[in-house]
Each structure stands twice: as C-alpha cells, then as structure tokens.
Structure 1
Amino acid sequence: MSAAQSQTTLESLQCHFTWNLVHSRPKLLRLTDKMENFSKEKGNRWLGHIYNLWGFIQYKLGLNEEARNLFQKAAETLNKIRNADVGPWLVVNYGNLAWLHHHLGDLEESQAYLSKVDALMEKYPSPSQDDLNPEIYAEKAWTLMFLGEDKKLVVDYYEKAARMQPDMVDWNTSYVIWLKNAQNFSDPKLDPDLLEKMRQAKERDPENLYLIALYLDQLADEAKKIRDEVRELAGNVSTLCCSNSGMWALLNLYIGYISADDAIVLAEKVLKEHADVRFLKRLVALYYRWRIVYKSSSSPEQSMVDRAIALHKELISLYPHSSLKNETDLASIYAMSRHSKAKAEQIFKKLLKNDPAEPSDKQMLYNKYANHLYFNRNDHHRATQYHMNVAAIPEKSYFRKNSIRILEKNKDREIEEFLRNLQEPRQ
C-alpha cells in the first residue's frame, strides 16, 4: 500500500484519532486524574474503553510509550471482559494502534494493524452502509460522554448500540442513564416513557448504584415519595465506594430529599471505611464546601469549616492538575471562616498574579473572584469589572454564562453597551 493510500485508510478508521477530540493540554492533564479514578473502580465494565481513551490522551501529551502500553492494556482488558481472544470490540483499539505506529514512523507495524481492522470489519460487518458496528457506537458514545461532549449525540449512539445488540446490558443501562441526563439539561418531558425504561433497565442491571439513584430521582420528579428508598439504598456503607458516579448521584439524592447535613454524615462514613480512595475525599470536600458556601443561613460551625479546609488542602496535593479549581474552592471556604478570612484574599491575589494561560481557567478564576468581591467584600464595583472580564473572553463556559446573567441583572448604561458589543463565544 502506498503512503497516500495508507493515509486515506487511516483517515477512514473509526477511532480516537479520527473523532475530532480536541482539548487543551490543561484539560487533558485533568482528564488523566479522572481516568485514574475511574480505572480503580471495582468491577468497572468500561475499563477497556478507559484504557483506550487514556492511551490517546497520553499520545496527545507526547507520552508515546505510555500510550502504546495503555492501548495494549485496553486490548487485553476488552478480550478478558468478553472472554474471547478477538472480536469487533477491538476495531477502535486496532485503529488507535495503527495511527500511533504511523505517527512513530513504524509504517510496517501501522500497516499490520490496518490489516487487522480490515479482517475484523470483514468478519463483523456493519449492519448497513449508513450504520457503524454496534461496538463502535458504544465506545464512541462512552468516549463523548466521558469528555462531556454533545449529550444528545451520546444518547443517540448508545440507543443505536443497544437496539442493534439488545443482550448488552451495559449499553442499555448507559442509554437509559444518558437519556435521563439529557432530559435534566433540556426538556424534562422529552421521553414520556423514561420511567418505564429506567425500571426495566434496573431489573436487568440491579447492582448499578448510579442507575438506581437516577431511577429514584425520576420517581421523585413524578411526585413519588422516595425518602425511605434513599435511606435503604445507603444502608450498606461498605459497598458504596465502588462507583464514583453512583456515590455522586446518591449524595445528591440525600441533599435533595433528606438533608445536606445527612449527606455529609453518609459521605464521611463511606470515606472512613475507604480512607485511601481519593475520589471519595473529593466528594466529601465538595459537599462540605457546598454546605458551607451555599447552604449556610448563618455563620457555619468553625469545626465544619476546619474540616473542609483540611480536605481541600489535601486535594491540592492529590490532584495537582486541578490545583487552580481546588485553590479557588479553598479560598471560598476561608472567606466563611471566623478566624482566617484574610487568607481568602491572599489566595485569590496569588492566583490572579500568576494569571492562568487557558481562557476557560481565566473565566473560572475571574468569576469566582467577582463573587468573592460581591458577597464577602461588599465591593460591587470591582465585582462588576471582573464579571465583565469573564464575559469579554469569547469562550463558551458555565462561568461566562453566569457572569453575563449577573451583569444583565445589574446593568446600567455602561454595562448595556458592553453586553451589546460582546463577541460570540467559540464553540
């Protein structure tokens, strides 16, 4: 095969190298933290896909040997999960390896993987010219989901995979979960049959904590009382650390239908049993901060503030690639302390002096500092200036949207003119 033919064949592959997964270096580094957390979940049935995406991220970070090792690990894991030596679940993996060896200049090895992809596609063809193989739909859906891409596209790919291969319980579970999540972010009545779909999925996948928690949330949306079921779900503390997303969903149920304080008590119990699981520390820290900053009608107890500060200091060392977020969170807690309020301003001043390079990081920092100035320093003028700084960065983000909403609420003639002249954000 000529070099031109090889390039054309590579570009036609369905794999991470052709899915237009473009992210900044800081985001890729933060994703490696997330990958590590998910890879340590006991019995994670998406582990092969985790290693595939992790390998691609390592390649994008310039760590080619680590990428190759992770791609090999992905193949071994996928085969082990499927209890077979080869199958269509390897199409994406072989495509990744073909691209990696191509970039490394090992064209013979790249060609060998292209031949393996051809052999798999011949043995396991797509059901039609317009459709992908269900294994590809499932992995593409999982990848887009993990990266926080288009939720409706994630739902569509999972639905196609589950419809083509209905015996794959994981795919059906993921389809129903993301159908629910998509509704949370769009039309709450998008699918009138959602509750029944969730009930059926729960019967097929009864150990999935995330699915059960979302099912209870959907019951509550339809005016059902769920307090007893939520408490029962939290009954076996020793089993609750198995799922990052499951614990997150369960604690959200506690906050919504029992109390924020009970959610913290539960999170601390689980952390006590699994003290070495770092994502649990992150969850516990998050809920302390949320309780202190957003749910305190009066000054929170100093012991609670001290515990939150200790946890957030630990997070800064546990998650070095997320230190900016963790430090701004720490500052917001210091601002609620009776004895250390000045430390909040010190942290923000240090972070502003270093001025992060990434536009999205600037938006987060400026937005959080603006809120600190407004709520904790009563400096409305400077708060407005920092919200304007956020809005002026043409990058689509939650923080830009939040700052614009605040500016619109408090606008005068100067702000009106500023908002009229804003650039549209990059997609």
Structure 2
Amino acid sequence: MKKYPSPSQDELHAEIYAEKAWTLMKFSTDRELVSDYFQKAIRMQPDMVEWNTSHILYSKTDDVLEKMRVAKEQDPDNLSLAVYYLEQRAKKGERIEDEARELARRVLRNPVSSHSGIKGILRVYRYYVSFDEAIDLAEEALENHPDERYLKRCAALYYKWFIYFSSSRPKQSTIDRAISLLKEVISLYPHCSLMKEVDLANIYAKSNHTKAIAEQMYQELLESDLEPADKQLLYNNYAKYLKCDRQEYQRSVQYHMKVAAIPHQSSFRRNSIKILERIKNRRSNPMLRGIEEFLENLQEP
C-alpha cells in the first residue's frame, strides 16, 4: 500500500508534491518547478507552515520580505527563516548587529544541521557584524558541538574567507587553525575533497613556512586524472595562485587559457574568460597578442 494514496489519477498527494519540491531544492536548479510543486502542495494543505516557509525561503519575488515577516510570525521557532529574514533586512540597509548577536545565541543552543541557521548567521556576521566576530562565533559553535562535521565545514569556509579577504596579513595561528579544519573536512567529506584540497593548498600558500607544501599539493593535483569540470576548477584556482602567490603572470594566463579551452560550461570557465578579457583590455600584457587570438578563436561548448 502506498504511503500517500493520491486523491485522483491526475493530482498527486500534497505531501508528495512537497517531498518532490524538497528533493529538487537539493539536486536541481529548476526554481520554477520547485515553486510549482510547493504551490500545489500549499494549495491542497494551506495550513502546513513548513511548506510555506520552505517556499518563501526558496523564492525570490519582490514581496519576499513581507512574506518572510508573515511566515516568521507563523513559524517563530524556524531559526533558518529568522536568519534569512534578518539578512534580507540588513541588505535593505537596516542596522541589525544587536539582533544578529541575540539570534546567534538561539542558533547555538540548537542542534546543528544545514537547516539550523548556523551557516546563515555566520554569513550575517561576516557581512553585517564583523569577520572577527564570525570567527569567534564559529569557534564557540565548535566548542558546543565538537563532533558536527557540517559545522566544521562551515567553520573551515569562514576561516578561508577570513584569510583571503583580511585587510592585514593573517596570524600564523589563524592559518594553522584553517589548515587543521580543512584537513578534517577533507577526511569527513572524501567525495567532495577536490575543492577543499585546493583550498588547503591556497591556505598553505599564505604562510612563508608552508609555500613549498602548497606547490607540492598543486603539482600532485595537476598530475591526477580529473573530469573536465574538475580540471576547470583546478586550473582556474592554480592560475590565481600563480598570479597572487608566486607572481608568475604568464603561467597564470596560460592556465586561464587551459580552463577556457575545455569545452564545458562552468562558472570557472566564465571566470577565466572574464579575466583574460580584462587582461586584454588593459593592453599592457606581453602576451596580449596571444590572448587576443585565443579569445577570437575560442569556441563555445
């Protein structure tokens, strides 16, 4: 017997529509279909607060802020929604620092998951409170939940951003902590380790003590057998590493060309092409003619 018997031949049960929507949220970029499934589920069972909340969080309509306010009143314990609502208000120019700190206390008291609001509140701290406080919050969360791999992944991400975007040279202790977290994350998420290994190499490159390790890691990755999309990820990051950390500008350009030459559409390919076009427009690079010819002959996948 089916778990949710359909009310008719043509219309699925509301809970099946909701489950389909949640599945697509994780594995698809078809926002219209996700929204359609949620709307059908909500139309059949309009009192399901969780479905309304998920639909609002996923939608990007002009009146989303007002919808979130209403949903927050209906679902006051949904911290993910509360964080997102706070973030949207901050984007509108509201000062939300004190509310963010208060909300962070609530988030920290709850179990950690991808829906607990921890990643969102860290993002709010990063952009609207301070990077230093975001790092402190991540460490406090790790102290409260030392075995949560998702939290370690979030913390590693914020350490990476802190090191990348810091206005001053990061302390060695900060670099060491980022390295430690990234190593843990790589072991905890072996199926998606390439990006984290690249992150680790880039963090190693930020310290004079470990620059050689960074280059060794990159060379090992460059020699590995990768799919086209993974090659683009690696070459794009290696090109930036060559420019920023080794000041090897011509090799950097060559690797951006390697990314663009792979016939696969991706954000890394678009980024490398954009960088090549920017270099071309400056007209001061010794490889200018080669870049121009390369871009002129570049074929779309």
Normalised TM-score (structure 1)? 0.65
Stretches of structure 1 lacking an aligned partner (at least 5 in a row)? 1-84, 89-119, 184-190
Gaps of 5+ in 2: 281-287
One-letter code aligned to 1:156: D
Structure 2 counterpart SS, 1:234: helix
Is the partner of 1:144 in helix, strand or coil?
helix
Amino acid at match of 1:158: F
User: In the alignment, what sits opposite 1:125?
Assistant: 8
Partner of 1:337: helix, strand, or coil? coil
- Counterpart CA distance in 1 for 2:169 and 2:296 is 39
Q: What's the counterpart of residue 30 of structure 2?
A: 150
The aligned residue for residue 413 of structure 1 is 289
Distance 2:138 2:255 in 1: 35
The aligned residue for residue 192 of structure 1 is 62
2:243 alignment partner, one of 374, 382, 394: 374
What's the offset of the Cα at 1:200? 1.1
Instruction: Decide whether the 8 Å contact of 1:234 with 1:240 is kept in 2.
Output: no
Partner in structure 2 of residue 72 of structure 1: none
Q: How far has the Cα of 1:350 moved from its partner?
A: 0.5
Which residue in the other structure is 1:354 paired with?
A: 224
Residues 140 and 157 in structure 1, CA contact (< 8 A), matched pair in contact too: yes
Name the CA distance, whole Å, in 2 between partners of 1:417 and 1:162: 55
Q: Compute the displacement of 1:140 (Å).
A: 2.0
* Partner SS, residue 109 of structure 2: helix
What is the identity, as a one-letter code, of the residue corresponding to 2:17? Y
Distance in 2 of aligned mates of 1:148 and 1:248: 21
1:54 corresponds in structure 2 to none
Identity of aligned residues (%): 55
Aligned to 2:40: 160
* Matched letter for residue 418 of structure 1: F
- Is the contact made by 2:112 and 2:145 (CA closer than 8 Å) also made in structure 1? no
Kindly provide the CA deviation profile for residues 172-214 of structure 1, in whole angstroms up to 9, marking residues without a partner as x.
Answer: 11110001xxx3xxxxxxx332111101111122111211111
The aligned counterpart of 1:136 is: 16
DSSP-derived class of the 2:105 partner: coil
Range with greater deviation from structure 2 (347-356 or 394-403): 394-403
The equivalent of 1:268 in structure 2 is 139
Aligned structure 1 segments of 4 or more residues deviating by more than 6 angstroms:
none
Q: Is the 8 A contact 1:227 1:257 kept in 2?
A: yes
Change (3 A) 1:334 1:172: same
Q: CA deviation at 1:419?
A: 2.5
CA RMSD of aligned residues (A): 1.9
- Does 392-401 or 371-380 show the bigger shift? 392-401
Q: Is the 8 A contact 1:370 1:387 kept in 2?
A: yes
Does the CA contact (< 8 Å) of 1:292 and 1:305 recur in 2?
yes
User: Does the CA-based 8 Å contact 1:241-1:270 persist in structure 2?
Assistant: no
CA contact under 8 A between 1:237 and 1:269: conserved in structure 2? no
Aligned residue pairs, count: 293
Matched, 1:388 2:295: no
**Distance across 2 between alignment mates of 1:405 and 1:171:** 40
Equivalent residue in structure 2 for 1:170, among 44, 50, 59: 50
TM-aligned CA deviation for residue 137 of structure 1 = 2.6
1-structure distance, mates of 2:271, 2:29: 20
Question: Aligned to 2:167, which of 297, 300, 305?
Answer: 297
Residue 148 of structure 1: how far off its partner (Å): 4.1
